[in-house]
Chains A and B, each alone.
Chain A
Amino acid sequence: MRSWRTILISVLIPLALGSVRADESDSEVEARKMALDLAGAFANDGFKLRDGHWSGPIKQGENAIVAVNLYAGNQYWFSVGASEGAKNVTLHIYDETGKPVPTDDYDETDQAAAGFSPTVSGQYFVGINPAAETAAKSFCLVYSYK
């Protein structure tokens, strides 16, 4: 079963990349590849990759906050990838009041993931935070659930 999922995701990622919007920049495409690369790891544990993403630039010293709506009972992993040169990107999840929620975190230089299981359905926020010294780069957020 595990190898089947791996094959499936290996097929789906190029398909997903094939449907890149025409107005996406090369650096956004690169960030998306990094995000999908990381999210693929969670497929091995039965997480389904949502066929949708947010991508865009984040200026130096700034962050991006993306609203998502999640269901109690599901487990989620949010994965972010960055274009080359990004430093120490981190992800944080906040509940609908803006309070941070505890997550399992994975941070690499240009990739990061945060996982958690909401106990209340509703709106949450995903904060994408590049290191302050990172010059403007493109970032891409995807998420997986099971």
Chain B
Amino acid sequence: MLFRVGLVSATFLASAGLILAAEPAALTLEQMAGAIKTDTVTIPTPGELFAALSKPGKPNWAEQYRPPIPTTYSNRAQIALNLGGLIADGFIAVEAQDSQQVKNTGTDIIKLAKSLGVSEHVLSRGKSINEFAENGQWDALQEELEATQNEVKASMQSNSDQDFIILVSLGGWIRGTQVVSGSVLADYNEASAKTLRQPALVTFMQKKVDAMAPELRNEPLVQTVSNQLSEIQKLVTFADGGVPTIDEVRKLNEAVGKLIDEIQKKNDTQ
């Protein structure tokens, strides 16, 4: 009963259960302001973003790789931000169906996760990532990356590191936006450019950063990211049906690119 998965197909739903519902009343401003917002459903995964980008035509994902980043940071906020970025890199390698790149990125993800003190269970996912990559199981790999990200966050939750959770999501979103804006710049079309509009998402993440414990919020890197987010929020708010011009995409790409440079920069003292 509980696991009837697969027995009920979408086709069945179409034939047996789909109905045309009466249109409900519009939401009030109070209802929208009071809506539930959680990291687990309100912040989309890099996989969702890249799926949308792939619709108008397959991007050249390998063109969006970046050189390996350091995996020996000592600042926990920086580790969390880079961990999110690396998970986005993992999704890119999966989209490119590049097993070696997936394995390299998976190794780096586990190294950074380890330095944050996440559970052994999360670390064991590195082995699964390698196995799926060797066997070319791309759908399973995407699920595994998403599960790894969620387990890292769950581990942070149980370690009373809740404030770091948003940094993982934020790092992933910034790196994902850099990749998508770079890909749109390389081959501009309106359908791809539309995916870059996410003003409410940036506002949500900004509020989460503002709500962090003061000692973390006041760290120089977190302050830099927070200040830049206000600017980026304006850069992902587009008029005309949410389609940015190529110049707007370029400005956004430059802004997130600068932020990624700051996030991955390893100070000499580290």
CB of B248, distance to nearest CB on chain A (Å): 14
Interface string of A65-104 (1 = CB under 8 A from B): 1111111111001000000000000101010111110011
Residue in B29, B42, B139 whose CB lies within 8 Å of A69: B42
Verify B198–A43 contact, CB threshold 8 A.
no
Residues of A within 8 A of B (CB): 5-6, 8-10, 12-15, 19, 21, 33, 36-38, 40-45, 47-54, 56, 64-74, 77, 90, 92, 94, 96-100, 103-108, 113, 119-123, 125, 127, 129, 141, 143, 145-146
Verify A122–B38 contact, CB threshold 8 A.
no
Question: 5 nearest interchain CB pairs?
Answer: A40-B5, A98-B27, A52-B40, A123-B200, A6-B6
Verify A73–B200 contact, CB threshold 8 A.
no
Asked if B98 CB lies within 8 Å of chain A CBs, one says: no
Verify A121–B195 contact, CB threshold 8 A.
yes
Asked if B47 CB lies within 8 Å of chain A CBs, one says: yes
Asked if B197 CB lies within 8 Å of chain A CBs, one says: yes
Q: Which residues of A contact B45 (CB under 8 A)?
A: 50-52
Residues of B within 8 A of A (CB): 2-6, 8-14, 17-21, 23-29, 31-32, 34-45, 47-49, 51-53, 55-56, 139-140, 142-143, 146-147, 150-151, 154, 191, 194-201, 204, 241-242
Residue in B11, B36, B55, B140 whose CB lies within 8 Å of A8: B140
CA distance A10 to B53 in the complex (A): 28
CA distance A67 to B198 in the complex (A): 13
> In this complex, what residue of B is CB-closest to A1?
B139
> In this complex, what residue of A is CB-closest to B17?
A106
Verify B41–A52 contact, CB threshold 8 A.
yes
Contacts A67-B36, A123-B200 known; A73 to B6 CB distance under 8 Å?
A: no
> In this complex, what residue of B is CB-closest to A14?
B3
> In this complex, what residue of A is CB-closest to B23?
A100
Verify B4–A98 contact, CB threshold 8 A.
no
Verify A74–B52 contact, CB threshold 8 A.
yes
Known: A33-B2, A94-B27. 16 other contacts (CB 8 A): A10-B5, A19-B150, A19-B151, A52-B39, A65-B32, A66-B42, A74-B52, A98-B32, A100-B23, A100-B26, A103-B21, A104-B14, A106-B19, A120-B242, A122-B199, A143-B41
Residue in A47, A50, A99, A106 whose CB lies within 8 Å of B41: A50
Contacts A68-B42, A90-B21 known; A44 to B195 CB distance under 8 Å?
A: no
Verify A50–B32 contact, CB threshold 8 A.
no
Verify B200–A69 contact, CB threshold 8 A.
yes
CA distance A145 to B44 in the complex (A): 11
Q: Which residues of A contact B195 (CB under 8 A)?
A: 71-73, 121
> In this complex, what residue of B is CB-closest to A98?
B27
> In this complex, what residue of B is CB-closest to A9?
B5
CA distance A121 to B23 in the complex (A): 22
Verify A12–B143 contact, CB threshold 8 A.
yes
Residue in A13, A42, A47, A121 whose CB lies within 8 Å of B194: A121
Verify A8–B49 contact, CB threshold 8 A.
no
CB of A14, distance to nearest CB on chain B (Å): 8
CB of B55, distance to nearest CB on chain A (Å): 4
Q: Which residues of A contact B191 (CB under 8 A)?
A: 72-73
CB of B151, distance to nearest CB on chain A (Å): 7
Verify B10–A5 contact, CB threshold 8 A.
no
Verify B52–A127 contact, CB threshold 8 A.
no
Q: Which residues of A contact B194 (CB under 8 A)?
A: 71-73, 120-121
CA distance A94 to B196 in the complex (A): 20
Residue in A13, A42, A54, A122 whose CB lies within 8 Å of B36: A54
